[in-house]
Amino acid sequence: MPRMQVPKKLERFINTPKRFKVAIGGRGSGKSMTFAGISLMDCMTKGIKTACFREFQNSIDDSVHTLLKSEIERLGLQGFEVQGNQILFNDNAAFKFRGLSRSADGVRSMAAFNRFWVEEAQTISEDSLRALTPTLREEGSEIWFSANPRSSADPFSQRFIKPFEKELIRDGYYEDDLHLIVIINIKDNPFAPRVLLEEMEHDKLSMSSAMYQHVWEGAYLDDTELSIIPTDWYDAAIDAHIKLGFEPTGAVIASHDPSDEGGDSKGWALRKGSVVLDVDEMVTGDVNEGMDWALGKARAVSADWFVWDCDGLGISLKRQVDQELESTKMQRHQFRGSETPDDANVPYSGKDSKTNRDTFVNKRAQYWWRLRDRFYATYRAVTHGEYIDPEEMISLSSDIKVLDQLRSEVCRIPQKRGNNGKIQIMSKIDMAKKPYQIPSPNMGDSLMMAMFAPKAAQKATATLKFKGWG
């Protein structure tokens, strides 16, 4: 009988009891094959029954059913009967397969099992993740996850990676009383087939760096191939004002994206001069409730300016804004990203360059690109020690609670060029479609609008004083 192949980094999964066992990494790491082999052996020797889940399972072909069947045949295991939607051992249900997204009943129907295995766990929703634990209550029961992390903001990453990221980066694994989490990639798998190794070498030359790192080394795909702002630039901007020694002085500008669709979250951002002090989102509520929330936050910090997206649903909110701010000195501005670029006939960068009208499709593209310029300038200053006027930079306060989620929005904004060669930003509708499937970046748009500011507010930032590199 062939011997079960377990990469050394995953050997502790065999006889180390933990409530949560997690293997994360890229293609060819052996995660799924190892989980399949251990689960089959545990079924034979310990009587463990495994419920196999994915967030989306339209048919049995979407599950690990085929992988388990292949391992049964390869290992020559006796006593298993592979049926269309389940696998039996000695005439008893040993493996069943469900999709999590359709209903919570898919989880509750598996209560008689004593191990859950969630494959492609990076796609799991918050609701599905929350449903797993209370269903599996038997003493010694375990929940296993295999995943190639997609975004730092995904529910799976937030629950099983981000809290332990320091140790995972340093040691390649994390362990406590509840968790065993291991990072494993193809270089850690001595059983990786030659054809995969050859494919990896090909992809190293043909893929973008971000996509290669994601596919083969398990890195977050917070960068898309067409992203206008790389994660390196974003990370350099965190506390850049502290790193470089300039103060958050100047106009206080609050901004709000009420969302294009009623079901989307609502975004909010706050900056003082070049320093972004806060970013937040409101997950529930309609556009009017969202505007009340954003205006309340702006009033609480005595913002000088309030900017909101007036395209889409935002156009109906002007009266609400005017009434709420009538008794204040707060100035207000309606941002319309669909409009012709500002300073349309002015060269974008220097007298010899194309005009803003000839460079950008609309104002949204123009100001996302200007936000990009700020991040790039900050990256040059922080990483390479170049002198950059602080007014041309951006600093993200480390006190912002949603920095990871904001990164996943800002660094996944794809650009595209129209037939006329002008720069345009992919619409939220197109982002939501395959292959991108990027959630609406409402916090990112709020940040863009905060850094945009109307001309009158821009003048108020002139008091920013540079102290030197510190």
DSSP for 34-95? HHHHHHHHHHHHH---EEEEES--SSGGGSSHHHHHHHHHHHT-SSEEE-SSEEEETTEEEE
Give the pLDDT confidence score for residue 231 in this predicted structure: 83
**Does residue 238 contact residue 229 with C-beta atoms inside 8 Å?**
no
- Asked whether the predicted pLDDT for residue 468 surpasses 60, the reply is no
Give the pLDDT confidence score for residue 260 in this predicted structure: 59
Residue appearing with tokens 């545990």: 42
Asked if the structure places residue 92 within a domain, the reply is yes
Q: What integer is the mean pLDDT of 155-173?
A: 88
* Angle, helix 318-325 to helix 287-300, in steps of 10 degrees: 30
Here the CATH number for the domain that contains residue 241 is: 3.30.420.240
- What pLDDT, in 10s, does the model give residues 121-151? 998 988 889 888 888 888 899 999 999 998 8
Residues 156 and 262 in one domain: no
Chosen domain end from 142, 171, 205: 205
Residues 176 and 279 in one domain: no
Asked if the structure places residue 188 within a domain, the reply is yes
Give the pLDDT confidence score for residue 459 in this predicted structure: 53
Task: Report the distance separating Cα 351 and Cα 341, nearest Å.
Answer: 17
- What pLDDT, in 10s, does the model give residues 228-281? 898 889 999 999 999 999 988 889 999 999 975 655 789 999 999 999 999 999
Q: For the chain, give the mean pLDDT.
A: 87
- What pLDDT, in 10s, does the model give residues 110-128? 878 999 999 999 989 888 8
**Does residue 244 contact residue 390 with C-beta atoms inside 8 Å?**
yes
% of the chain beyond a pLDDT of 70: 89
User: SS3 string of 120-135?
Assistant: CHHHCCHHHHHHHHHH
Chosen domain end from 168, 189, 205: 205
Asked if the structure places residue 223 within a domain, the reply is no
Using only C-alpha atoms, the chain has a radius of gyration, in whole angstroms, of 26
- Cα dihedral sign, 305-309-310-316: negative
Asked if the structure places residue 216 within a domain, the reply is no
Residues 201 and 242 in one domain: no
Give the pLDDT confidence score for residue 201 in this predicted structure: 93
State which residues form the domain around 69.
Answer: 8-205
Task: Report the distance separating Cα 298 and Cα 265, nearest Å.
Answer: 18
Task: Report the distance separating Cα 362 and Cα 423, nearest Å.
Answer: 9
- What pLDDT, in 10s, does the model give residues 387-418? 999 999 999 999 999 888 898 789 878 777 66
Residues 194 and 242 in one domain: no
- Domains contained in the chain, number: 2
Give the pLDDT confidence score for residue 295 in this predicted structure: 96
More confident residue, 29 or 429: 29
- Within the chain, how many helices (H) and strands (E) appear? 19, 17
Judged by DSSP in three states, 247 sits in coil
Residues 155 and 250 in one domain: no
Q: Tell me the pLDDT band of 373, cut-offs 50, 70 and 90.
A: very high
Q: What integer is the mean pLDDT of 195-201?
A: 94
Give the pLDDT confidence score for residue 469 in this predicted structure: 41
Give the pLDDT confidence score for residue 464 in this predicted structure: 39
Residues 177 and 266 in one domain: no
Q: Which residues pair with 252 in a beta bridge?
A: 272
Beta-carbon contacts of residue 420 (< 8 Å; ≥ 6 apart): none
Task: Report the distance separating Cα 368 and Cα 274, nearest Å.
Answer: 15
Judged by DSSP in three states, 22 sits in strand
Q: What integer is the mean pLDDT of 292-302?
A: 96
Q: What integer is the mean pLDDT of 365-373?
A: 94
Here the CATH number for the domain that contains residue 62 is: 3.40.50.300
More confident residue, 439 or 427: 427
Residues 198 and 254 in one domain: no
Q: What integer is the mean pLDDT of 369-382?
A: 95
Q: Identify which of 386, 342, 377 has the alpha carbon closest to the alpha carbon of residue 360.
A: 342
Asked if the structure places residue 211 within a domain, the reply is no
Residues 162 and 274 in one domain: no
**Phi, psi for residue 245 in degrees, rounded to 5:** 85, 45
Residues 237 and 311 in one domain: yes
More confident residue, 332 or 1: 332
User: SS3 string of 353-416?
Assistant: CCEHHHHECCHHHHHHHHHHHHHHHHHHHHHHCCCCCHHHCCEECCCCCCHHHHHHHHCCCEEE
- Asked whether the predicted pLDDT for residue 383 surpasses 50, the reply is yes
175's tokens = 């362990």
- What pLDDT, in 10s, does the model give residues 309-349? 988 766 678 889 999 999 999 999 999 999 999 999 998 88
In the chain, % helix, strand, coil (3-state, to 5) comes to 40, 20, 40
- Asked whether the predicted pLDDT for residue 429 surpasses 90, the reply is no
More confident residue, 239 or 152: 239
Asked if the structure places residue 294 within a domain, the reply is yes
Q: Which residues pair with 152 in a beta bridge?
A: none
- Asked whether the predicted pLDDT for residue 462 surpasses 70, the reply is no
Asked if the structure places residue 210 within a domain, the reply is no
Q: Identify which of 396, 430, 402 has the alpha carbon closest to the alpha carbon of residue 414.
A: 430
Give the pLDDT confidence score for residue 194 in this predicted structure: 93
Residues 179 and 255 in one domain: no
The verdict on whether omega for the bond into residue 435 sits within 30 degrees of 0, i.e. cis, is yes
Judged by DSSP in three states, 243 sits in helix
User: Global pTM?
Assistant: 0.63
Q: What integer is the mean pLDDT of 27-55?
A: 94
% of the chain beyond a pLDDT of 90: 58
Residues 154 and 272 in one domain: no
Residues 140 and 188 in one domain: yes
Task: Report the distance separating Cα 409 and Cα 369, nearest Å.
Answer: 15
- Asked whether the predicted pLDDT for residue 221 surpasses 80, the reply is no
